[in-house]
Chains A and B, each alone.
Chain A
Amino acid sequence: MTRTVNGPARMVFEAWTKPELFQRWWIPKSMGVTIVSCEMDVRVGGGYRLMLRHGASEPMAFFGKYLEVVPNSRLVWSNDESPDGAVTTVTFEEKAGKTRVVLSELYPSKEALEANGGGIMPEQFDQLDDLLVSLGAATSTP
């Protein structure tokens, strides 16, 4: 997922790390979901917890930990609400007042994580790209 935001990286980072700003865009209005609460402790090892409610149903919790925090440049967090949850990585790259945001969600295998001491390997990003390309190719096959 890549998108260019018309603003400096520090502002995009701010919108991603301040709960009062984050809540305003993370759940688009069109989803029909309301945010019950949003807590974020943005530092390595710190946790976040987002409670969402859809209609009259019981609220659902989304939570995890920040694995990497590089101000204005990079955030990595886990998604711990499911046992094999993804690790989300987002990077912010500023150029001429605009910020290129690159986001990926990976479902890394235990083996890959252990081999790499718990981090994410660059190859996995390429794999995700390849995956999306091959999905496009495969679905266009009659």
Chain B
Amino acid sequence: MVQYSPAHFSASFAALSDVTRRGVLEQLARADASITDLADKFGMTLTGMKKHVGILEEAGLVTTEKVGRVRTCKLGSCRLEEEAAWIERYHQLWAARFDELDTVVDELKRKEKASGRKKRI
């Protein structure tokens, strides 16, 4: 289990900020694959794919194992649970904010209506 730390968060969110790396994660969720398989699948050079896998590995999202000449990649122990919990808290904060914003806007509307009536009289 990867421990929570701000540095780990930065590494995992940075790792997820690239479309190829997200694709690699989706691919590995379906089945383990070698770097060569992944490079073929995403139309990249081996060197390019190695770099992406390296970033995912540092974030704990992927682990690799070399057997003979083949390096096999699989999903790592970081299941993004801490990240998901962080996002959930963020959503809750915003939901609470917007609920109170509704109240403020309702009040502005009532005030405007009241002053509008006054002007017409």
On chain A, the residues within 8 Å of B112 by CB distance are: 11
For the complex, count residues of B whose C-beta is within 8 A of A: 32
Q: Is the interface of A mostly helix, strand, loop or mixed?
A: helix
CB-CB under 8 A for A25 and B103, given A134-B25, A137-B26: yes
A-B CB contact pairs (8 Å), 28 listed: A1-B94, A3-B94, A5-B101, A7-B109, A11-B112, A14-B108, A15-B108, A24-B104, A25-B98, A28-B93, A29-B100, A31-B93, A31-B96, A101-B98, A131-B16, A131-B17, A131-B22, A134-B22, A134-B25, A134-B26, A135-B84, A135-B87, A136-B84, A137-B26, A139-B80, A139-B81, A141-B29, A141-B75
Q: Does B102 contact A (CB under 8 A)?
A: yes
Q: Does A70 contact B (CB under 8 A)?
A: no
Count A-B pairs with CB separation below 8 Å.
Answer: 82
Q: Does A6 contact B (CB under 8 A)?
A: yes
Considering only residues 1-39 of chain A, those with a C-beta below 8 Å from chain B are: 1, 3, 5-7, 11-12, 14-15, 21, 24-26, 28-31
On chain A, the residues within 8 Å of B103 by CB distance are: 24-25
Considering only residues 2-33 of chain B, those with a C-beta below 8 Å from chain A are: 13, 16-17, 19, 22, 25-26, 29
Nearest Cβ in chain B — how far from A93, in angstroms? 15
On chain A, the residues within 8 Å of B91 by CB distance are: 1
B106 x A28 contact (CB < 8 A): no
